Structure 1
Amino acid sequence: MTPDTFTAPVAAQRRDRRRAWSAAPGQYLVWLLVAVLAIAPLAPLIYTSFLSKPYYLPGGVFSVDAYRQLFTDPAFRTAALNTVIFAATATTAAVILGAAFAVLVTRTDLPGRRLIGPALMAPLVIPPLGLIVGWESLYGPSGYLTQLWHKNLHLPVWNLTSLPGMAAIGAVVTLPIAYLTCKSVLEGADGTLEDAVRASGGGTGRVLATVTIPMLRTALLDSGMLIFTLSLEVLGIPLFLGRPANIQFIASYLYDTWSNSMVPDPPIVSAGAMLLLVVASAILLLRSRLLRNANRYTAGTRATPPARPISLGRWRRPITTGAGGFIALTSVIPLLGLALMSSVTALTTLVAPWHLFTADNWRQIWSDPSLHRAITDSLVVASVGSVATVALVALATVIAERSGFRLRRTLPALLVYPRATPGIVFGVGFFWLFLIVDWPGAMLRNSLWGELIALCVRNMTLSYIILAPALSRLSPELAKAAASVGAGWWTTTRRITLPLLRPALISAVVLMFVTLVSDYDPVVFLTKPGTELMGTSMLQTWSKGLPGPVAALALVQVLLVALALTVGLGWTLRKKDRRHA
């Protein structure tokens, strides 16, 4: 036995400690950046909600007057009740429809299910304001199809500006969440139990009631609580559809209070945002507790589909027709209505649309400096923000999953929490953060970069939910091999881990670009003349009674999203072709 026998393990341990020590400063820096971005906006929000006056006015003292004023305001109580009714109705409809479509696509012999499944994802990629404007132009009280239905058939018309009407579009927008959650569970479940019930003489109804639906309990609970939380923060629907009927939600109440108050940022808005934050956080905590024992609802360890899909019999074609009609009415036709509305002087049944064609709406968005700037600013925010966010989240994800960093277990929660927090809450929080922190707050609150930060922080969760599963599928053996020959953690991450994650990184960048082009909630309190984005410009232009330019801006959003998805899909297909070649 030679001395080297004893010294080699000691030397290896020393090298491991040196590599860990050299990696630690950078890992702490990434963790600190993520923590500050996720948590910092919430601290000033709490502080300012307990001031008797806005922060920048002298004489403010600690007070709960803002909360007292909020709870005693009948308008707020009505808005809160409307929000709960809307959220409950939209959630119920979205979960039921999403689960039904998931069962039809994954467990039945439904014709055309390979096309129906992807088509159900349309509301996820169509900018939300564009979908709302499309619905309003066709199904609103003076909408084109509403008037045709009433004029030609003389039948009672639906009321899109009522709570049930707004809940219908809320359910359409959030249905893909329930569909994807339930579909994921069904695809990963063991189908032999359904085969066993069928073999024992059970019919379709018994298979669904005793096996398929019980397997979805966790998915229904998970998606339902998530959709309910997202429905609490809805802003575009009440602003576009609720105003004509004087129906307020909490988000629109806070927005109007901020916009119309003589004091531009009253403490009551901070108090209302805090209430939304508390409610959303409570729902998340309840969700995590209820889903702790989710594994007891799983049915097997192997993803084995049933030997024979459930037969729909004579209902196959009617259900296919109904599913196709649902997709057409909720996504395809509103997009066509949006395009038509952007190209006419007025959309009315009194005059044929081809007699009202005009390019004025499109000319206005290019000639009006604020509208034209909104398009270019949105492109800058989406391009720079998507790359920067994915780069930061990629490093944070690798640290959380593939390092010995002592605080790594806190990173997933920090990355997920912003998306679970209402966007309007982040908007108010960032406004106060930029105002209280003089540098670099003074620079950020008066520039486009402050809005970019707010949007990126709010949506960085989306990058994480793409990168984390992709990283978990990568074998750690290559990283271990690199470490065995002396490569440090950063070298391994840069040269091995991140290059292997390239497909997921591209997907995350595309998703972030699409989201940043469309999102607007976190910046409604940060926008100033000269820093408008497309979403906020659409809100302001709609309030002026100019639906044509709004439809044109919404269609620009749709085209940008379609272009980004086409580029991302084309890159993916080229990579697959190269691998097969």
Structure 2
Amino acid sequence: MPQWVVWGVLVVLVVGPLLPLLLASLRSKPYYLPGGTFTLHAYQQLFTDPDFWIAVENTVLFAVLTTALAVTAGTVFAILCGRTNMPGRKVYGVLLVAPVVIPPLGLIVGWVSVYGQSGYLTGLVASLHLPVWNLSSIPGMAVLGAAVTTPIAFLTCQSALAGSDTALEDAARSAGAGALQAITRITVPLLRPAILNCGVLIFTLSLEVLGIPLFLGQPSHINLYATYLYRAWNNSGVPDPPFVSAGAVLLLVVVTALLLLRTRLAGAEQRFIATSPRGGIGYQPLDLRGWRRPLAVLVGLFITVTSAVPLVGLVVMSSVKALTTLVAPWDLLTGGNWRQLVTDSTVRRAIMDSLLIGTLGGAVTVALVAVATLIAHRSGFPLRRTIAPLLAYPRAVPGIILGIGFFWSYLMVEPGPYVRNNIWGEMIVLSVRNITLAYVVIYPSLARINEELDRAARATGAGWWTTAGRVLLPILRPSLVAAFLLVFVSILNDYDPVVFLQKPGTEVIGVTMLQFWQKGALGPVAALAVVQIIVVGVVLAIGARVIRKGRHA
């Protein structure tokens, strides 16, 4: 019976919010207004709106450019760090994934403060009468989108290269092929499924992006799909006109189709990996010869431009009245931005609420996912095969869509007032959004535990729950800690699932940053982003120490 309860909770949390969303898109009026009938008028209204098609066109162009740039950069960096003798490749391999743990809004604010239309370096280049870039254009936004998603392509291709047999590359070199020939004729073709896999994933993520067009698209009046829905909601006389729900359903269908395609590509990827018992033992990296140092400099320059410089700009922005080339930054130093974090009750509440939601939501999420993973892979539960897809799906659902779905769920379901208009409702949404992250950390560790331990425990008379609680979960403790850290950081940095749920008194850091940005208060936004980065750094440092002690024990 308890296993059925866990399965039921997962179904309600993952599938439940999507059904009210579909129903809302088929109603002529929102559910909280009297009257209304079932109709397709919302979809007709959506398809006849010229702004909708402009947003679709902009989104597809943005997604294509972002995917092309990110996949190209990630693949090249993975090959350079994993297959060549480029100097500093191990250090670069760590630094290239830095944007994964940097709060996304913080990175965006850093980019805007340095490279935006009023950014410091933009103004510096313009003062030299040189042509400047336009970050508030679709290509400009795509460059930032690629900087954020390049680590995904890098990690995917690096994983495909790790442990794969290098005999084919050795044979090519023995036949007289140079490093470039070995890479283009052997390494890249072997990476083709991994490239397609991460390409579909990045394209999917680009369709749902909200922060980049909100921060950068506004000066040029450029809407992407997510900002089109966001502004239609906020500019409407009533929250969530039906066509916003219709737009959300359409995006959900497209994203789900892309997820299924990615699943097929991930399965095909295994057929393109050449492995052998020796793996990479005795492998001699491809010799880049005279290109070793120039390529190392280019990779270092990429990291500096995309991560280091924006972070410096973010820190400076948090401590000055304005960041401009007309006045030296040290002449504009102020503590007002940081003082506001202490004196403004809204900001204080946002920080405390985010920490509370991240801590409690992370703990509950990891506990639920740990039990669900054990049921899915170490039990005889009749519906165990449905649990893994349920755990994997939430991250595929765009955060903005999940937020609208929960908005309707809280209105339609009887227990709604207990979670509506308070931080507990926001915690549920953010926790559901991050179920997948906990699963991808816990499951690989569980798969490495020999099932003989389960059988030995049952042989002594232990039931399934006793075996799970006294044998498997204690062994999984380091993975549970790692999963909690990942979920905590993700909840702290996330914002798009709750942009439609936050009300006065229920603030979180991400949405508060958006609200300050819309008011033109750039300094407090930067200060909040720096707080996020400090908290993430402290939590990761403590967590790494705990994990090391646990593994040693």
TM-score range (shorter-chain normalised) is over 0.9
CA deviation profile, 1:514-533 (whole Å, cap 9, x unmatched): 00000001101111010010
**Contact map agreement 2:194 2:266 (CA 8 A) in 1:** no
Partner of 1:7: none
1:293 is displaced (CA, Å) by 3.3
1:445 is displaced (CA, Å) by 1.2
1:296 is displaced (CA, Å) by 2.5
**How much identity, in percent, do the aligned residues show?**
56
| TM alignment of 1:433-444, pairs within 5 A | 433-439=409-415, 441-444=416-419
Corresponding residue to 1:537 among 512, 535, 538: 512
**Contact map agreement 1:541 1:549 (CA 8 A) in 2:** yes
Cα distance in structure 2, aligned partners of 1:37 and 1:548? 37
- Check if 1:490 corresponds to 2:465: yes
Partner of 1:571: 546
1:294 is displaced (CA, Å) by 3.0
Cα distance in structure 2, aligned partners of 1:137 and 1:208? 38
CA deviation profile, 1:288-307 (whole Å, cap 9, x unmatched): 33444333312134461262
**Contact map agreement 1:191 1:303 (CA 8 A) in 2:** no
CA deviation profile, 1:5-64 (whole Å, cap 9, x unmatched): xxxxxxxxxxxxxxxxxxxx1111111111111100000000000101111111100111
Partner of 2:379: 403
Partner of 2:111: 135
- Check if 1:349 corresponds to 2:325: yes
Corresponding residue to 2:357 among 376, 381, 388: 381
Partner of 2:165: 190
Partner of 2:94: 118
1:282 is displaced (CA, Å) by 1.1
- Check if 1:108 corresponds to 2:84: yes
Partner of 2:233: 258
Corresponding residue to 1:237 among 206, 212, 216: 212
Corresponding residue to 2:253 among 278, 291, 294: 278
Cα distance in structure 2, aligned partners of 1:375 and 1:302? 51
- Check if 1:98 corresponds to 2:78: no
1:208 is displaced (CA, Å) by 1.1
**Contact map agreement 2:194 2:269 (CA 8 A) in 1:** no
Q: Which runs of 5+ in 1 are unaligned?
A: 1-24
Cα distance in structure 1, aligned partners of 2:209 and 2:390? 23
1:218 is displaced (CA, Å) by 1.1
Cα distance in structure 2, aligned partners of 1:519 and 1:292? 29
Partner of 1:468: 443
| TM alignment of 1:312-327, pairs within 5 A | 312-327=288-303
Partner of 1:336: 312
- Check if 1:546 corresponds to 2:521: yes
1:286 is displaced (CA, Å) by 2.3
Q: Which amino acid aligns with 2:146?
A: A
Cα distance in structure 2, aligned partners of 1:103 and 1:244? 38
Corresponding residue to 1:208 among 183, 186, 196: 183
Cα distance in structure 1, aligned partners of 2:217 and 2:274? 44
Matched residue SS, 1:320:
helix
1:574 is displaced (CA, Å) by 3.2
Partner of 1:247: 222
Matched residue SS, 1:293:
helix
Q: Which amino acid aligns with 2:30?
A: P
**Contact map agreement 2:193 2:268 (CA 8 A) in 1:** no
Matched residue SS, 1:154:
coil
1:188 is displaced (CA, Å) by 2.5
Cα distance in structure 2, aligned partners of 1:303 and 1:271? 54
Q: Which runs of 5+ in 2 are unaligned?
A: none
Q: TM-score scaled to structure 1, two decimals? A: 0.94
Count of aligned pairs between the two proteins: 552
**Contact map agreement 1:189 1:303 (CA 8 A) in 2:** no
Q: Which amino acid aligns with 1:105?
A: C
Matched residue SS, 2:393:
helix
Partner of 1:8: none
Corresponding residue to 2:32 among 56, 79, 82: 56
CA deviation profile, 1:81-114 (whole Å, cap 9, x unmatched): 1111111110111111111111011100011111
Partner of 1:562: 537
Cα distance in structure 2, aligned partners of 1:260 and 1:227? 30
**Contact map agreement 1:192 1:304 (CA 8 A) in 2:** no
Matched residue SS, 2:507:
coil
- Check if 1:227 corresponds to 2:186: no
| TM alignment of 1:421-436, pairs within 5 A | 421-436=397-412
Q: Which amino acid aligns with 1:212?
A: T
**Contact map agreement 1:187 1:303 (CA 8 A) in 2:** no
1:206 is displaced (CA, Å) by 2.1
Cα distance in structure 1, aligned partners of 2:278 and 2:361? 38
Cα distance in structure 2, aligned partners of 1:209 and 1:353? 47
1:65 is displaced (CA, Å) by 1.1
* RMSD between aligned residues: 1.1
Q: Which amino acid aligns with 1:207?
A: A
Matched residue SS, 1:314:
helix
CA deviation profile, 1:328-354 (whole Å, cap 9, x unmatched): 111111111111001001111111110
Matched residue SS, 1:438:
coil
Cα distance in structure 1, aligned partners of 2:434 and 2:68? 25
Q: Which amino acid aligns with 2:258?
A: I
Cα distance in structure 1, aligned partners of 2:515 and 2:242? 23
Partner of 2:478: 503
Cα distance in structure 1, aligned partners of 2:74 and 2:189? 15
Partner of 2:60: 84
In structure 2, do the counterparts of structure 1 residues 291 and 570 end up closer, same or farther at CA, with 3 Å as the change threshold? closer
Cα distance in structure 1, aligned partners of 2:460 and 2:267? 41
| TM alignment of 1:173-184, pairs within 5 A | 173-184=148-159
1:554 is displaced (CA, Å) by 0.8
- Check if 1:454 corresponds to 2:429: yes
Cα distance in structure 2, aligned partners of 1:286 and 1:187? 24
Corresponding residue to 1:368 among 313, 324, 344: 344
1:247 is displaced (CA, Å) by 0.4
Cα distance in structure 2, aligned partners of 1:560 and 1:289? 38
| TM alignment of 1:25-44, pairs within 5 A | 25-44=1-20
Q: Which amino acid aligns with 1:468?
A: Y
1:572 is displaced (CA, Å) by 2.6
Partner of 2:141: 166
**Contact map agreement 1:182 1:220 (CA 8 A) in 2:** yes
Cα distance in structure 2, aligned partners of 1:52 and 1:207? 61
**Contact map agreement 2:477 2:550 (CA 8 A) in 1:** no
**Contact map agreement 1:361 1:552 (CA 8 A) in 2:** yes
1:408 is displaced (CA, Å) by 0.7
Q: Which amino acid aligns with 2:5?
A: L
1:575 is displaced (CA, Å) by 3.8
Q: Which amino acid aligns with 2:529?
A: A
Matched residue SS, 1:46:
helix
Larger CA Rg, structure 1 vs 2? 1
1:221 is displaced (CA, Å) by 0.9
In structure 2, do the counterparts of structure 1 residues 303 and 418 end up closer, same or farther at CA, with 3 Å as the change threshold? farther
**Contact map agreement 1:427 1:454 (CA 8 A) in 2:** yes
1:568 is displaced (CA, Å) by 1.1
Partner of 1:9: none
Partner of 1:22: none
Cα distance in structure 2, aligned partners of 1:160 and 1:92? 18
CA deviation profile, 1:87-145 (whole Å, cap 9, x unmatched): 11101111111111110111000111110001011110000000000000000011001
